[in-house]
Amino acid sequence: MKVVVVGAGIIGTSVAYNLAKGGVSVTLLDATDPASGTTSRSFAWVNANNKTPKTYFDLNVSGMQENAALQRELGGEWLYTTGNTIVSEDAGSLEKKVLRLKGWGYKARIISPEEAREVEPGSALSEAFPNAAVAHFSGESWADAPLATRTITDAARSIGAEVRTGAEVVGTEAGKSVALGGGEILAADAIVNAAGPDGAKVARMVGRGLPLDVFPGLIARVSAPPEVLNGLLHTPLVNLRPDGDGYLAIHHETIDERISEEADLDALAEELLKRARKIVPALEGSEVVGLRPGLRPVPGDGYSCVGGLPDLPGYYEALTHSGVTLGPLVGRLLAAEVLTGAPDPLLAPFRPDRF
Ligand SMILES: Cc1cc2nc3c(=O)[nH]c(=O)nc-3n(C[C@H](O)[C@H](O)[C@H](O)COP(=O)(O)OP(=O)(O)OC[C@H]3O[C@@H](n4cnc5c(N)ncnc54)[C@H](O)[C@@H]3O)c2cc1C
């Protein structure tokens, strides 16, 4: 069996690695380079915090576990289980969420302002949000997603996967072949569409109309004094996390909403930093050192779209938001489906044929 995976983001790379482990002849194609798409522009919070209903929560919890298991398997250091602190001015909603998550066996608790100061001594949460409630989620992580993707790609290559960069897929015939931009045709018994935000374009190549929304987002990388933040911190103004020694990644959905073709991304990043200084006063001398504008791939109803389609034998989709949380798991489950023909029950609510 010969399988072609289109897209070497965290998802396609994970699919290719698991197929190679299963003894399949696999070619992983990317129009540019591994981890050059959304995967390198992600906040990369590995979590199941806001995930409902229970089936989607369970999928994301398995995704968190799979990330940790894969890091143990492959070695390297790209997953940081630092825990996450959430500050909310809507105490009732936060308490309700914590209760629900605890009931589902998730590590979640409301903490006092004193405890919040112990968890994040570099923050000024009480000063910035005097009336807010705070919760802590000790099992959540952030990932260096590009490093994870490169690590998985190298592992896939080392067990026989062929990885081709600068290889843009311009046409496919499900179950038969893939056409590359340069005119080359590759035989393929199966094709996996893991093209992230370009997933709908690749789906059209096999005549499938896939509803996939694409929302812009912006991560700013800023310089920071060493160890100014211990873990992830979500606040009503800005979200922050460590991003390697001496740097933080900052982001907020209220800034994402202002992104358009005319938007000045430098100005938006400066606004993120201004907000971050209110939460972490030691960022006073910090600077924006990098912008990571990205596109979130979100299947029509907001949930993952993973598996084969009965009407299109030899064609599979692996498209989802929260792909950093879910990538390693989706990779293993989809590869098993390609190999055995049997979808995993965890994926039952997230099959492509619902669209
Ligand atoms: C601002 C922002 C914040 C986010 N925060 C989080 C978060 O906190 N937690 C989380 O889990 N997720 C988060 N996400 C979502 C997550 O980053 C994505 O779901 C994930 O990176 C998608 O990975 P992917 O492999 O599907 O896509 P990508 O990384 O985009 O990879 C797709 C690849 O396909 C290639 N490609 C496309 N078309 C073709 C073609 N025709 N031929 C060959 N190659 C092709 C591209 O070059 C690209 O490399 C966030 C996303 C954004 C933008």
**What pLDDT does 94 receive?**
98
Indicate if the pLDDT at residue 71 is higher than 90.
Answer: yes
Q: Which atom of ligand 1 is nearest to the CA of 39?
A: 21
Per-residue pLDDT of 123-147, as tens digits, reads 999 999 999 999 999 999 999 999 9
Q: Can you name the residues that pair with 162 across neighbouring β-strands?
A: 27
How far is ligand 1, taken at its centre, from the CA of residue 242, in Å? 20
Class of domain 81-141+214-296: alpha beta
**Any idea where the domains of the chain sit in the sequence?**
2-74+144-211+300-354, 81-141+214-296
Q: Spell out a b/e string for 268-306, using b for 16 or more CB atoms within 10 Å of the CB, else e.
A: bbebbbebbbbbbeebeebebeeebbbbbbbbeeebbbb
Protein residue closest via CA to atom 5 of ligand 1: 43
How far is ligand 1, taken at its centre, from the CA of residue 21, in Å? 23
- CB under 6 Å to ligand 1: residues? 6-12, 29-32, 36-39, 41-45, 168-169, 194-198, 202, 217, 219, 251, 294, 296-297, 320-325
Per-residue pLDDT of 201-249, as tens digits, reads 999 999 999 999 999 999 999 999 999 999 999 999 999 999 999 999 9
**What pLDDT does 175 receive?**
84
Q: Which atom of ligand 1 is nearest to the CA of 218?
A: 1
Q: Which atom of ligand 1 is nearest to the CA of 36?
A: 49
Indicate if the pLDDT at residue 174 is higher than 90.
Answer: no
How far is ligand 1, taken at its centre, from the CA of residue 124, in Å? 33
Per-residue pLDDT of 41-70, as tens digits, reads 999 999 999 999 999 999 999 999 999 999
DSSP-derived secondary structure for 18-41: HHHHTT-EEEEE-SS-TT-SGGGG
How far is ligand 1, taken at its centre, from the CA of residue 197, in Å? 6
CATH label, 2-74+144-211+300-354, candidates 3.30.479.30, 3.40.140.10, 3.50.50.60, 3.20.20.80: 3.50.50.60
How far is ligand 1, taken at its centre, from the CA of residue 15, in Å? 14
